[in-house]
Amino acid sequence: MAQTIRRKATGVRRAAAARGTAQKVKQARATTGTVMDALMRYLPFTEEQLHRVFLALILGGGVALAWFVASLAGVPAMASQQIASLAGDAGFEVRRVEVRGVERMNGLKVYERALSERDRAMPLVNIKALREELLKLSWVKDARVSRQLPDSLVIDIVERQPHAVLRKPGRLVLIDELGNELEPISETNARGNLLIEGPGAGKQVVALGRLLEAAPALKPQVTGAEWVGNRRWNITFKTGQVLALPQGNEESAGALVSFARLDGVNRLLGGKVAAFDMRAPERIYMRIPGRSQPEAMDARGQGTSTGVNE
């Protein structure tokens, strides 16, 4: 007996749904192309350059993944070296060094240390060790070293700021506010800088800074400071006059503030007095050239002197 086989006809709803899906896909593709075209018009590089960027990202990701897997698997150093070589072959090696923040120091000293990494594969560059080498430079207060893929090392330098000149036996040295020695300096170039001298003065730079801050009106007038007997300061002003301060942080600061007040009333600076001595409490002695005995006044500006600026 013959049998009749009937094929199941596609339902109307199913066919309509399929046509709808196809239409949505077509519209999505058209929309995506339009958005990408618009985006490319606003980007600052061409489509070819964008492909190169994506390729570099893919290669970089592959190298990073290989390095990570190798580290997890405990691959011997030889295998790690091979991975680094592959990274170098792919263009990930140091070909350029960029140094930022160098203004006063000799930038060649930074490049000398950084260029030892030239042509080295990026994974083999020891960022920490390079930074430690840079911190050994006298002018470098801080340093940051970073990789800029595919082929650059970027070094950001924070320089120490010159603060004064320290006189040492037979030479002058430029120092910062903490007393760190920066570099030798000539007599000519030292002019105009605060001159600090005396045995052990280099260790007292911070204390001197605090002392001068106690009398801000006098600070611009100070050109030199001598650390005497490892216990006290003699201050020299632009006028060439010298002020002997007592020992002790509080005592010397108090004396300097009193001198600033007396100068504001009596105009001590710029007169004929060559030297002021405030080592005695509540008294200031003044040495005037041509007079055998120093004159004195108390902390309020009263004393035997009849005219300091005579």
Given this model, what pLDDT does residue 157 score? Answer: 95
Q: Is the CATH number 3.10.20.310 carried by domain 93-159? A: yes
Q: Length of the chain in residues, anyone?
A: 310
| Cα gap 182→139, rounded to integer Å | 6
What's residue 252's pLDDT? 96
Average pLDDT (191-205) is: 96
Instruction: Give the DSSP letter of residue 130.
Output: H
Tokens matching residue 19: 């046509």
pLDDT over 90 (residue 185): yes
User: pLDDT at position 160, please?
Assistant: 97
- 221 has pLDDT over 90: yes
Cα 226 from Cα 51, distance rounded (Å): 67
Residue 176's pLDDT band (boundaries 50, 70, 90)? very high
Residue 293 pLDDT class (50, 70, 90 cuts): confident
Is the Cβ–Cβ distance between 198 and 224 less than 8 Å?
no
Whether 8 has a pLDDT exceeding 80, the answer reads no
Q: Which 8-state DSSP code applies to residue 267?
A: -
Q: Is the pTM of this model over 0.85?
A: no
Q: Where are the domains of the chain?
A: 93-159, 162-298
Q: What is the mean pLDDT of the chain?
A: 79
Task: Label residue 86 by pLDDT band (50, 70, 90).
Answer: very low
Mean pLDDT of 222-236: 97
Integer Cα distance of 231 and 240 in angstroms: 22
- CA distances to 3, 13, 22, 27 from 9, rounded to whole Å, are 18, 12, 20, 29
- The arithmetic mean of pLDDT across residues 43-53, rounded, is 60
pLDDT, tens digit, 9 for 90 and up, residues 105-161: 998 999 888 877 766 777 778 889 899 999 999 999 999 998 887 778 889 999 999
* pLDDT at residue 43, as a whole number: 54
What's the CA gap between 150 and 60, in Å, rounded?
Answer: 8
Q: pLDDT band at 27, cuts 50/70/90?
A: low
Confidence of residue 93 (pLDDT cuts 50, 70, 90): confident
Residue 303 has phi, psi (to 5 degrees) of: 175, -160
Say yes or no to pLDDT of 18 above 90.
no
Q: Is residue 282 left, alpha or beta, with left meaning phi > 0 and alpha meaning psi from -120 to 50?
A: left
pLDDT band at residue 20, thresholds of 50, 70 and 90?
low
Scan for tokens 């170039």, then name that residue: 189
At residue 120, the pLDDT reads 73
CA 97/CA 62 separation, integer angstroms: 24
Buried/exposed 273-288: b ≥16 CB within 10 Å, e otherwise: bebbbbeeeeebbbbb
Whether 36 has a pLDDT exceeding 90, the answer reads no
pLDDT for the residue numbered 89 = 44
Contact present, 164 and 194 (Cβ < 8 Å):
yes
Q: Rounded distance, CA 282 to CA 298, Å?
A: 6
Scored b (16 or more CB within 10 A) or e, 107-123 reads: eebbeebbeebeebbbb
Which single residue is written with the structure tokens 């120490």?
160
- On the question of pLDDT at 14 being above 70, the answer is no
Cα–Cα dist 24/21, whole Å: 5
Q: What DSSP string describes 157-216?
A: EEEPPEEEEEEETTEEEEEETT--EEEEE-HHHHTTSPEEESTTGGGGHHHHHHHHHT-T
Q: What is the pLDDT of residue 116?
A: 73
Residues in a beta bridge with 225 = 196, 235
What is the arithmetic mean of pLDDT over 299-303?
Answer: 59
CATH architecture of 162-298: 3-Layer(aba) Sandwich (3.40)
pLDDT band at 208 (very low <50, low <70, confident <90, very high): very high
